[in-house]
Amino acid sequence: MPSLRELQQRFAVALFADPGTAPAFAIAGAHRPAERIAIYRRTVFANYRNALGATYPVVQRLVGKPFFDAAVDAFVRAHPSRGGDLNVYGDAFGAFLAVYPPAGELPYLTDVARLEWAIDEANRAADATRSPDIVLGTLAIAPPERLPALRMRLEPSCRLVASEFPVLRIWQVNQAGYDGDDGVSLDDGPDHLLVRRDANGVALQRIAAADFAWLAALSARATLALAIDKAQGVAEAFDLGAALHAYIGNGTIAAVVDQG
Amino acid sequence: MAARSALPAAAGIGLRAPHLRQVQTERPRVAWFEVHSENFFAEGGPAPAALDRIRNDYPLSLHGVGMSLGSTDPLDREHLEKLRRLIVRTEPAVVSEHLCWSSVGGRHLNDLLPLPYTEEALVHVVSRVAEVQEALGRELAVENVSSYLAFAEATIPEWEFVAAVARRTGCKLLLDVNNIHVNATNHGFSAETYLEAIAPDAVVEIHLAGFDASGPCLIDTHGARVAPAVWELYRVAIARFGPRPTLIEWDVDIPAFEVLEEEAATAQSILVASHALAA
């Protein structure tokens, strides 16, 4: 007699087998065992379609539901869920779309998905705790010779999304209830976006490429000196004072860390 | 926040995302709410903040869908820790999970899959429930699930399995009366026999929902009103167990909140009638 573990393994295999395949375990009293497994298969895949549809509404709108559902089904097979909380499943969907052949004609789809995942993460991130005044105060009392070695922590909901396509515009014109001009020129990229949550919800802000490079470096725990290098690599005229003022002032930078 | 207290023996509503805002602003007269625990695992943001506000006004039951209690994989400690933190934050009256499995070999199927009702599975589930109760530092209520197949290996009737889990672990039961009806129909057993096997003291909560009857067997969709036969079985259950906190669940094609209130009112009228009989 198969063990509990063997039965669970065979059940899982049957769920992902081709429709019509009889399961490799015995079902009591059912005339058509494959039909019973098919009920579970439908429910399981519907769960994933619904969950990813909630996370990726713009992708779904861009490709239509039949295409989206087929993409989700293929994604689930390529990147199985590893946890019991469907709210946090699907981070790799954007990367998957980049190599999913049917999506080949929509090169911006991957970046739209990455943006939607960033929005989803921003929505779930820990609440910000520090006020700009405290951060500015820490910076003000730092000895000048220590400044290059300082590191900065971004507020927990901050996500940075860059794309060669105008993904912000694509995202905006595909929001439910949007009734303006929905034309998008793919030549209007690139976009450098700061995604973060404030008291009014998640906001998307287009920022300068140099600011983006600077924040991306800081977010990867680079020192201030290295982050400035990255920013100047993008734009020689990067203005550190203005950037500090802007991103501490709006709460993006949540802490200054001097690791001595 | 109202102190942690038992759920009232009245009708509550399963609160889902489409109604979160309405409930916060209108504060409808509902005896208590239940939410899916995982939907509030976020560290911050609008979801936990909304739950905090709701908890200020209503007793709360936390209902998990993702612990994979009956899996032969190790328990997911991170998942348990998130649940533990949510319990500390919201002080729910009841914490429940399903008597099912959802994962094997590290792969999650994210569905409530049926167990083979064998002595091996019973011993396994008993140890898992004990492990979860230990990790959470509190009593768990386990819920009977609907099923569309029965394993040929099964040696124990479902009702005896469910009753034995409660008896051997000291855990409580969340009895889903709709699931009993669905399984009784799908597998050809007597729903009344099922109810008679369950110790009244173990039942801390009852679930009611709608099923779909258009396929080869009844499917527990949570996408319709409670069926007349299930209301009948609910009356039998209340007569046996006494009035119990009773939840209306609706998870797909979620209707206007008022429809859920109507269903809750029907449950409430049955509870009130049983109170009157007992008096």
Kindly state the percentage of chain A with pLDDT values over 90.
84
Would you state the torsion angle of the CA atoms of residues B249, B149, B155, B203, taken in this order, to the nearest 10 degrees?
A: 0
Length of chain B: 279
Q: Is A70 helix (H, G, I), strand (E, B) or coil?
A: helix
Nearest residue to A7 via CA among B118, B182, B187, B98: B118
State how far Cα B57 lies from the chain centre. Answer: 22
Burial code (b: 16+ CB inside 10 Å, e: under 16) for B181-201 equals: bbbbebbebebeebbeebeee
pLDDT at A260: 57
CA-only gyration radius of chain B, Å:
18
B2 belongs to a structural domain = no
A194 belongs to a structural domain = yes
pLDDT at B5: 65
With beta carbons under 8 A apart, name residues in chain B contacting A37: 149
Alpha-carbon distance of B18 to B35, in angstroms, equals 12
What residue of B is the nearest CA neighbor of A196?
B45
pLDDT tens digit at each of 279 positions of chain B = 555 568 999 999 999 999 999 999 999 999 999 999 999 999 999 999 999 999 999 999 999 999 999 999 999 999 999 999 999 999 999 999 999 999 999 999 999 999 999 999 999 999 999 999 999 999 999 999 999 999 999 999 999 999 999 999 999 999 999 999 999 999 999 999 999 999 999 999 999 999 999 988 999 999 999 999 999 999 999 999 999 999 999 999 999 999 999 999 999 999 999 877 765
pLDDT at B4: 58
With beta carbons under 8 A apart, name residues in chain A contacting B109: 12, 15, 44, 81
What residue of A is the nearest CA neighbor of B82?
A85
Number of domains in chain B: 1
What residue of A is the nearest CA neighbor of B146?
A40
- For A137-163, the pLDDT digits (tens) are 989 998 989 999 999 999 999 999 999
Mean pLDDT of the region A99-124? 97
Asked if residue B194 lies in contact with residue B184, where contact means CB atoms within 8 angstroms, the answer is yes
Of the residues B82, B110, B158, B185, the best mutation for testing chain A's interface (the one with the most A CB atoms within 10 Å of its CB) is B110
pLDDT at B6: 80
With beta carbons under 8 A apart, name residues in chain A contacting B113: 8, 11, 40
Of the residues B82, B111, B211, the best mutation for testing chain A's interface (the one with the most A CB atoms within 10 Å of its CB) is B111
A236 belongs to a structural domain = yes
B196 belongs to a structural domain = yes
What one-character-per-residue DSSP string does B234-246 give? HHHHHHHH-S--E
Asked if residue B113 lies in contact with residue B68, where contact means CB atoms within 8 angstroms, the answer is no
State how far Cα B163 lies from the chain centre. Answer: 15
- For A63-82, the pLDDT digits (tens) are 999 999 999 999 999 999 99
Q: Which amino acid is at A49?
A: R
The range of the structural domain enclosing residue B31 comes to 11-278
- CB-based contact A89 B110, cutoff 8 Å: yes
B106 belongs to a structural domain = yes
Of the residues A1, A3, A7, the best mutation for testing chain B's interface (the one with the most B CB atoms within 10 Å of its CB) is A7
A100 belongs to a structural domain = no
Å between A153 CA and nearest CA of chain B = 17
| pLDDT category of residue A199 using cuts at 50, 70 and 90 | confident
Nearest residue to A202 via CA among A246, A168, A249: A168
The CATH code of the domain that includes B121 is 3.20.20.150
With beta carbons under 8 A apart, name residues in chain B contacting A78: none
Å between A121 CA and nearest CA of chain B = 9
Å between B44 CA and nearest CA of chain A = 4
Considering only the beta carbons, identify the residue of A11, A25, A86 that sits closest to B113: A11
Kindly state the percentage of chain A with pLDDT values over 70.
100
Is the predicted pLDDT of residue A205 greater than 70, yes or no?
Answer: yes
B134 belongs to a structural domain = yes
- CB-based contact A124 B44, cutoff 8 Å: yes
- CB-based contact A124 B71, cutoff 8 Å: no
With beta carbons under 8 A apart, name residues in chain A contacting B107: 12, 80-82
Q: Which residues contact B106 (CB under 8 A, 6 or more apart)?
A: A82, B73
A7 belongs to a structural domain = no
With beta carbons under 8 A apart, name residues in chain B contacting A47: 110-111
Alpha-carbon distance of B65 to B39, in angstroms, equals 10
Q: Is A145 helix (H, G, I), strand (E, B) or coil?
A: helix
pLDDT at A29: 78
B74 belongs to a structural domain = yes
Q: Using a cut of 0.90, tell me whether the model's pTM lies above it.
A: yes
Of the residues B69, B80, B128, B149, the best mutation for testing chain A's interface (the one with the most A CB atoms within 10 Å of its CB) is B149
Å between A188 CA and nearest CA of chain B = 32
Mean pLDDT of the region A211-229? 98
B5 belongs to a structural domain = no
The 3 state secondary structure assigned to B119-163 is HHHHHHHHHHHHHHHHHHCCCCEEECCCCCCCECCCCCCHHHHHH
Is the predicted pLDDT of residue A196 greater than 80, yes or no?
Answer: yes
A72 belongs to a structural domain = no
- CB-based contact A82 B108, cutoff 8 Å: yes
With beta carbons under 8 A apart, name residues in chain A contacting B124: 4
Å between B36 CA and nearest CA of chain A = 10
Say what the ipTM of the complex is: 0.95
The range of the structural domain enclosing residue A221 comes to 125-260
Å between A147 CA and nearest CA of chain B = 31
A241 belongs to a structural domain = yes
- Give alpha helix (H) positions in chain B: 20-26, 46-57, 77-90, 119-136, 158-169, 177-187, 191-197, 228-241, 257-278
Number of domains in chain A: 1
